[in-house]
Structure 1
Amino acid sequence: MALIALAAALSVVRFYPRPGLADAIPLSTVVRDREGRLLRLALASDQRYRLWVPLEQISPQLVESVMLQEDAWFYWHPGFNPVSLVRGAWSTYGSGEARVGGSTLTMQLARLRWRLQTRDIRGKLVQIARAVQLELCYSKREILEAYLNLAPYGGNIEGVGAASLIYYRKPASELTLPESLALAVLPQAPSRRGRLAAREDDAYYIGAGLEAARARLYARWRESHPSDPAQDALLRLPLRLRSARELPYRAPHLADRVLAERAWHPQSGPELTTTLDLRLQRLLEERVRNYLRQGRSRGLRNASAMLIDTRDMGVRALVGSADYFDASIHGQVNGAAAKRSPGSTLKPFIYALALDQGVLHPQTVLRDVPSAFGPYTPENFDGRFMGPVTATEALVRSRNIPAVYVAAQLKQPSFYDFLRQAGVSRMASRDHYGLALVLGGGEVTMEELARMYAMLGNDGRLRALRWRQSDPEDDGARLLSAEAAFVTRDMLRHNPRPDAGSQSASRPLPVAWKTGTSWAFRDAWSAGLVGPYVLVVWLGNFDGASNPALIGVEAAAPLFFDIVDGLQAARVDLAEPARQWPLNLKRVEVCRASGDLPNAWCPQRGTTWFIPGKSPIRISTVHRAVIVDNATGKPVCGRFDPATMRQEVYEFWPSDLAQVFVQAGIPRRRPPAGHDCGGAQDWLGSAPSITSPFRATRYTMRLSHPEQLSLSLAATVDADVARLYWFVGNTFIGSAEAGKALAWTPDRTGQFRLTAVDDHGRSDEREIEVAVVK
């Protein structure tokens, strides 16, 4: 009866719910690239290297070596071995010989788990009691696994998982017999045997004590394996060991990020497999380092770069700074996550939205002329004006005024709304930016910018970046049509690389790219699509210091294409990925001068992409035929007589563009007076467009000086206009020559409706408000 009660009590102890031996033990984290290559072994929270490896994933040779060295009777004793204890006590206290341990694996696990002091008899008794407790509560397999994962292996290295990874750069399942024997003897004197001696070539590490102890263990091993003499030769070979100081510390900014986000991904376990490709990471690091070495004389000291595979949105490479360990440039700051002014790198999305909203097509002619948008008067980077430019030219040449004009035409969504939808964080209010947002007035991170460029590569779908292989792939949200994304990519491919004539460009590769320069030369950017990849490059200083050399096309673009050339040289697959097709696109013939459908007199024609149902469509009116008398050379009206008359084609440019032509010294034949035949051809011309006063603007006048409020009335007019007439309501207030302004002083406060009428009867209106202040 007593035996039955004892058996029942033991069963209750064994099967009662208990914590696992691995519970509450802090573990290290292994960070690997997508091919399994080690990026970092992170310390556990107690500053130790410790990995928990299941027993079935540990080399059987290592398990057998440990048991042969530490506890050959492990499977037969109840937690302590009386024979070993007596032998150890006699050797230590009776014979006066060297101290010999009598602890079993279970006793050693008890000491490690409860941090016991076992150098005196009382401590040893506590250790024995704890060992019996372990044997009652856990199976032999669980105890053996726990010991192998907690045993000391020199310094702050614990467990065979961390030891095999640090010393041999391989998992515990792949250890050979010489490697297993070395690890088996190391826990007996980890501080002494763990001091490894370096050979002259600094490649192999082996201490004399460790080598001697391994030889003694191998002699015992041979007694158990007499039929395996081939291992003798292996044991005579030098054993390659490494130290913890040599652990890889690769892609530090990306590793920092995924480690910091571990709390969000608790299911990931002790191994984090990232989407990073170590081969591409090294390529970017090398190119950035070499480029900055050459640019140091220009004050270029820091850079960031990011490479994303649009097919799965995996981050293949991330260079957060030029040197992670350089404190002078704040190297540990991750530039890819920092908010910076993007300069002109956001302009492609303005044109993509305009394509979707029917504002333009790639060959639409825009005006690069002095312009005002309410109180905002942007300027081009070079301070000049090009006159008429196509939308494609305006984008690739980064003309500011056309971009602001296009942004002002956007409705739903506006550019501000689009950026919010695209995930740009921490944006201020819409009124805070106004149209300056177009030219980099806001701030984005490199990660946000890369996602938006990836959207162009993913047919208009905005998808989340993937940092870990376990991150799910999402379909994303559609922010642009596939047609607008395709056409925008095509427009960006017309941007020539800055070294187009150099040897490095001998193998042309279609690259859809754009540069950006922030205000006061604080940031230089280059971003684009290279086959299936998005590459973004930034140069600047983390402290915001400006540098005249920080110009996108001069500082960032060369590094961008240096990396592109490196990808080609490394034979990275840069083939275009599969895109959505067929698309709702057509090729349409247009007049090159106007970007509109050609009329009968258009001399030069081309083709452009056209989105049916969206792209603007109208007949060109720039080129018009004027009937001229052969004898006098003057315009004539009436029926055309080919015997006495001829047709001459003139270009009818609006007044603002005509003025730019004059300033640029580009001759244009002005249509002769009387060509309109009394208004018979007025339908061909364009109505005036008021440029001043500004729309939606309140003007203020002081009671003490009402005469100081004088408004400039100005409008652009067609080339066939000679004079412009101004009205307030129905009251005529004056006229001015085409291209000239008229000064007007309001005689009261309130709302006014201004009307500009040209000498052909075409008009434009604008509402303004005049208020009063003291």
Structure 2
Amino acid sequence: MLSQKALRYVAWSSTTGVAVLALAAVTLWQLDRAFPPPLPAKPIVSAEVLDRDGQLLRTFATPDGYWRLATSPDQVDRQFVDMLVAYEDKRFWDHSGVDLLALGRAALQFAGNGRIVSGGSTLSMQLARLIEPRESRSVWAKLRQMARAIQIERRLSKTEILERYLTLAPYGGNLEGVRAASLAYFGKEPKRLTVSEAALLVALPQLPEKRRPDRNLRIAQAARDRVLDRMVSANLLGEREAQRAALEAVPEVRRALPALAAHAANAAVAKAATGEPPRLTIRKSAQQGLEAVARDAARKLGPKLSVAMVLADARTGEILGEVGSADFFDSSRSGWIDMTKVLRSPGSTLKPFIYGLAFEQGMIAQETMIEDRPADFSGYRPKNFDMGYQGDVTIRQALQLSLNVPAVRVLDAVGPARLTARFRQAGINPALPLNEPPGLAIGLGGVGISLRDLVQLYAGLANGGKVHPLRDGAETTRPADFTATILDGQANWQIADILSGVKPPQGALQRGIAYKTGTSYGYRDAWSVGFDGRYVLGVWVGRADASAIPGLSGYVSAAPILFEGFERSGLASVALPSRPPGIFLPKRDQLPVTLARFGSDAANAIGPAEPAPKIVFPPDGARVDLGAATASATPLVLKLQDGRAPFRWLANGKPLTGRDRTRTATWLPDGAGYSTLTVIDAAGRAASVKVFVE
């Protein structure tokens, strides 16, 4: 039995021990409050821009010049995480910041070998060193690191600690974090790594400069192999699997980090709010293909030339690829200028819309003859690109050959104001000369328009005449969600059918697209815009300073890029729509007199004394109930005023009767829906109305 004195000593010792422990705990708590770890809420990381599927399009260096990409454990191969923990800190999930067993093992190894064999640092201690670099390798520095690790463990969960380590771990040079290293050394995200790749990424942070594979290949390979051996000892890998991994080559070069869609990415980052990385509508694979095409084409075309491209989904208006210049970083080509948004002369690329309006009004058919001869339009004398003339040609030939005089003849009849009004209706405002009304010159490029706007117009041709505003996701606000009509469905099909017959450039694969080229005055801009049943691609070639380039032309310079761009975009070709019901495609000898030839010099020279014809019933936009859905549908009486007899009536481009000198006619529709009624008088003047039949 203990004496009374001994019992009092034990009681005193226990009380004193508790007091000392309590005092130590209070002291540590006070020190923790007084000297908290320099632990920011989130590390400063590189800005990122993602594509429509969440893939990395472009990343930017941090303000201090590092490539440091935010990385969470679920973005990294699970096998890499297991190997990292097994190699660096096998009791990571159990300790509270300091692994006493590992420290004891390290001390014994040092005593037995006279050198450091293993450091005993936990991942939490390594994170402490990353956020608060130590100035020396003293015992005090190690103790301070241990204290910081305990503080970090009190503030962050294990997953958060791992996330910070994966983001901040050094990998040589200005690479920090496993994502930046994986992209730089393997050219891919670390989500799916080979065993060899995972082992190399585990090995590098211990001596990142000494083990950099792009500078010290053999040292890096040896470090990787040591990790593989350790994984065999830890039963994470079988011997054969480790041997196979050791045979895999270690990368010898450091790749550039993704820098796709530079112009759009810059705009997205400038406008992005804090939080999630901005996501564009661009598709990474298509963007890569288009940028490669633009770079290769610019090199072939010559110095100082640039190439811009816009690829869009006509059904949604989403931009899938956007190349603002041949090379963003090439100052000799003014690569920093986004040429998709610069106003330039579009050359002949607006001609399809001129003919489309004429089709709408029933003024022409594909086989209508038109003159390609020198002409004078009140002092405006257009000439063809090759300075030659074809004589009499069909409307189809005139558009496919991009003849200038016929296009101006048709625009003169349609009216330049109507053409520009239709563009504005589709959300495009072409730049006209200051304080001047639209003139005939706009048909040949006498107007300013951007590549992006031109692609929006052609997206309407690819979408049955319906236009959606283009968007790439970089906009601060989504463009107005509207659907406008650039051409009615039947006229739109006629234009698409004609353009689908344009001969592809030499050496290009026939892809089943409809396309048009254009060359601006003075050989400053070359254009080519094409579409299939869903996608539209526009190409611009020229110099950012608008200098003339002898020999530049849309067909020779831009069209080959268009076809190659479609090919390398990776998008599956979508067939152009087949001829819809009700489309009238007569042969030349089947045309009515009023459609056989577009106008005549004699009629134009004399000039009709009567006013142009005007349909007075039904009025434009009327809804008429004829019982079209029943078997007892009643015909509609058509009435007109003015004009010179005889008259030719057409419904949706199809003649109703022969030539008639009366000013009334009847029409029995095929069914319900919208229809266009047109009358053409003897002087070739036309009037049209659109009605909805019920």
Is the structural similarity TM-score above 0.5? Answer: yes
Q: Tell me the alpha carbon deviations over residues 292-347 of structure 1, each in whole angstroms, 9 at most, x when there is no partner.
A: 63x66xx9954444444545555555555455554433345443333321111111
The corresponding residue for 1:231 is 241
Shift of the alpha carbon at 1:348?
0.9
After superposition, residues 119-158 of structure 1 pair within 5 angstroms as: 119=137, 126-158=144-176
Shift of the alpha carbon at 1:247?
3.4
Report if aligned partners of 2:513, 2:576 keep a CA contact under 8 Å in 1: no
Report if aligned partners of 2:349, 2:516 keep a CA contact under 8 Å in 1: yes
The corresponding residue for 1:490 is 497
Q: Does 1:182 align with 2:200?
A: yes
Q: Tell me the alpha carbon deviations over residues 86-113 of structure 1, each in whole angstroms, 9 at most, x when there is no partner.
A: 8878999999745964543223223323
Give the distance between the partners of 1:524 and 1:572, measured in 2 at CA: 24
Give the distance between the partners of 1:192 and 1:513, measured in 2 at CA: 56
Q: Tell me the alpha carbon deviations over residues 498-533 of structure 1, each in whole angstroms, 9 at most, x when there is no partner.
A: 65xxxx58x866543322221112122232334544
Report if aligned partners of 2:196, 2:248 keep a CA contact under 8 Å in 1: no
The corresponding residue for 2:466 is 461
Report if aligned partners of 1:22, 1:52 keep a CA contact under 8 Å in 2: no
Q: 2:70 aligned to 52, 59, 75, which one?
A: 52
The corresponding residue for 1:551 is 553
SS in 2 for 1:452: helix
Q: Using a 3 Å threshold, how does the CA distance of structure 1 residues 267 and 532 change in structure 2: closer, same or farther?
A: farther
Give the distance between the partners of 2:596 and 2:224, measured in 1 at CA: 90
Q: Tell me the alpha carbon deviations over residues 591-650 of structure 1, each in whole angstroms, 9 at most, x when there is no partner.
A: 68xx6x23xxxxxxxxxxxxxxxxxxx58799xxxxxxxxxxxxxxxxxxxxxxxxxxxx
Shift of the alpha carbon at 1:117?
4.5
One-letter code of the match for 2:551? A
Q: Using a 3 Å threshold, how does the CA distance of structure 1 residues 472 and 77 change in structure 2: closer, same or farther?
A: farther
Q: Tell me the alpha carbon deviations over residues 406-442 of structure 1, each in whole angstroms, 9 at most, x when there is no partner.
A: 3344469722223334444673467436312222122
Q: Tell me the alpha carbon deviations over residues 441-482 of structure 1, each in whole angstroms, 9 at most, x when there is no partner.
A: 222222222221121010111124454799999773333211
Q: Using a 3 Å threshold, how does the CA distance of structure 1 residues 267 and 472 change in structure 2: closer, same or farther?
A: farther
Give the distance between the partners of 2:442 and 2:426, measured in 1 at CA: 15
SS in 2 for 1:432: coil
Shift of the alpha carbon at 1:486?
0.8
SS in 1 for 2:546: coil
SS in 1 for 2:526: strand
Give the distance between the partners of 1:619 and 1:424, measured in 2 at CA: 31
The corresponding residue for 1:586 is 584
Report if aligned partners of 1:537, 1:559 keep a CA contact under 8 Å in 2: yes
The corresponding residue for 1:612 is none
Q: Tell me the alpha carbon deviations over residues 371-392 of structure 1, each in whole angstroms, 9 at most, x when there is no partner.
A: 5555645444455666665443
The corresponding residue for 1:330 is 334
The corresponding residue for 2:575 is 576
The corresponding residue for 2:450 is 445
Report if aligned partners of 1:367, 1:387 keep a CA contact under 8 Å in 2: yes
Greater mean alpha carbon deviation, residues 86-95 or residues 41-50: 86-95
SS in 2 for 1:174: coil
Report if aligned partners of 2:325, 2:337 keep a CA contact under 8 Å in 1: yes
One-letter code of the match for 1:540? G
Report if aligned partners of 1:281, 1:318 keep a CA contact under 8 Å in 2: no
- The alignment yields a C-alpha RMSD, in angstroms, of 5.0
Q: Using a 3 Å threshold, how does the CA distance of structure 1 residues 657 and 306 change in structure 2: closer, same or farther?
A: same
Q: Using a 3 Å threshold, how does the CA distance of structure 1 residues 160 and 458 change in structure 2: closer, same or farther?
A: same
SS in 1 for 2:518: strand
The corresponding residue for 2:514 is 512
Q: 1:166 aligned to 163, 173, 184, which one?
A: 184
Report if aligned partners of 1:22, 1:146 keep a CA contact under 8 Å in 2: no
The corresponding residue for 1:80 is 98
The corresponding residue for 2:353 is 349
Shift of the alpha carbon at 1:291?
8.8
Q: Does 1:27 align with 2:31?
A: no
Report if aligned partners of 1:380, 1:401 keep a CA contact under 8 Å in 2: yes
Give the distance between the partners of 2:424 and 2:283, measured in 1 at CA: 28
One-letter code of the match for 1:521? Y
Q: How many residues align?
A: 586
Give the distance between the partners of 1:306 and 1:140, measured in 2 at CA: 46
SS in 1 for 2:340: helix
Q: Does 1:481 align with 2:488?
A: yes
Q: Using a 3 Å threshold, how does the CA distance of structure 1 residues 488 and 430 change in structure 2: closer, same or farther?
A: farther
Report if aligned partners of 1:29, 1:43 keep a CA contact under 8 Å in 2: no
The corresponding residue for 1:398 is 402
Give the distance between the partners of 1:457 and 1:232, measured in 2 at CA: 55
Higher relative contact order (CA 8 A, sep 6+): 2
Q: Using a 3 Å threshold, how does the CA distance of structure 1 residues 516 and 123 change in structure 2: closer, same or farther?
A: same
Report if aligned partners of 1:276, 1:467 keep a CA contact under 8 Å in 2: no
Give the distance between the partners of 1:20 and 1:356, measured in 2 at CA: 69
Q: Does 1:278 align with 2:279?
A: no
SS in 2 for 1:574: coil
**Bigger-Rg structure (1/2):** 1
The corresponding residue for 1:603 is none
Shift of the alpha carbon at 1:484?
1.9
Could you tell me the TM-score, scaled by structure 2's length? 0.69
Q: Tell me the alpha carbon deviations over residues 5-64 of structure 1, each in whole angstroms, 9 at most, x when there is no partner.
A: x99x99xx99xxx9997635223537569696x765543444322233332443343333
Give the distance between the partners of 2:296 and 2:237, measured in 1 at CA: 55
Could you tell me the TM-score, scaled by structure 1's length? 0.62
Shift of the alpha carbon at 1:151?
1.4
Q: Does 1:258 align with 2:257?
A: no
Report if aligned partners of 1:498, 1:558 keep a CA contact under 8 Å in 2: yes
SS in 1 for 2:87: helix
One-letter code of the match for 1:113? I
SS in 2 for 1:515: strand
Q: Using a 3 Å threshold, how does the CA distance of structure 1 residues 389 and 687 change in structure 2: closer, same or farther?
A: farther
After superposition, residues 179-328 of structure 1 pair within 5 angstroms as: 179-194=197-212, 196-197=214-215, 206-208=217-219, 210-225=220-235, 228-241=238-251, 243-244=253-254, 246-247=255-256, 252=260, 254-264=261-271, 269-270=276-277, 275-276=282-283, 278=285, 281-282=288-289, 285=292, 289=296, 293=300, 302-310=306-314, 313=317, 315=319, 320-322=324-326, 326-328=330-332
After superposition, residues 93-132 of structure 1 pair within 5 angstroms as: 97-98=115-116, 101-114=119-132, 117=135, 119=137, 126-132=144-150
Q: Using a 3 Å threshold, how does the CA distance of structure 1 residues 79 and 255 change in structure 2: closer, same or farther?
A: same
SS in 2 for 1:336: coil
Give the distance between the partners of 1:305 and 1:440, measured in 2 at CA: 19
Greater mean alpha carbon deviation, residues 139-148 or residues 528-537: 528-537
Report if aligned partners of 1:33, 1:39 keep a CA contact under 8 Å in 2: no
**Can you give the 5+ residue segments of structure 1 that lack an aligned partner in the other structure?**
199-205, 599-617, 623-651, 659-684, 691-717, 719-761, 765-774
Report if aligned partners of 1:530, 1:574 keep a CA contact under 8 Å in 2: yes
Q: Using a 3 Å threshold, how does the CA distance of structure 1 residues 388 and 114 change in structure 2: closer, same or farther?
A: same
Report if aligned partners of 2:318, 2:470 keep a CA contact under 8 Å in 1: yes
**Can you give the 5+ residue segments of structure 2 that lack an aligned partner in the other structure?**
1-17, 612-643, 645-682, 686-694
Give the distance between the partners of 1:571 and 1:65, measured in 2 at CA: 37
Shift of the alpha carbon at 1:686?
6.8
Give the distance between the partners of 1:349 and 1:442, measured in 2 at CA: 14
Give the distance between the partners of 2:222 and 2:392, measured in 1 at CA: 85
Give the distance between the partners of 2:542 and 2:327, measured in 1 at CA: 14
Q: Does 1:687 align with 2:608?
A: yes
Report if aligned partners of 1:292, 1:302 keep a CA contact under 8 Å in 2: no
Give the distance between the partners of 1:73 and 1:547, measured in 2 at CA: 69
SS in 1 for 2:516: strand
Give the distance between the partners of 2:409 and 2:551, measured in 1 at CA: 29
Give the distance between the partners of 2:83 and 2:401, measured in 1 at CA: 70
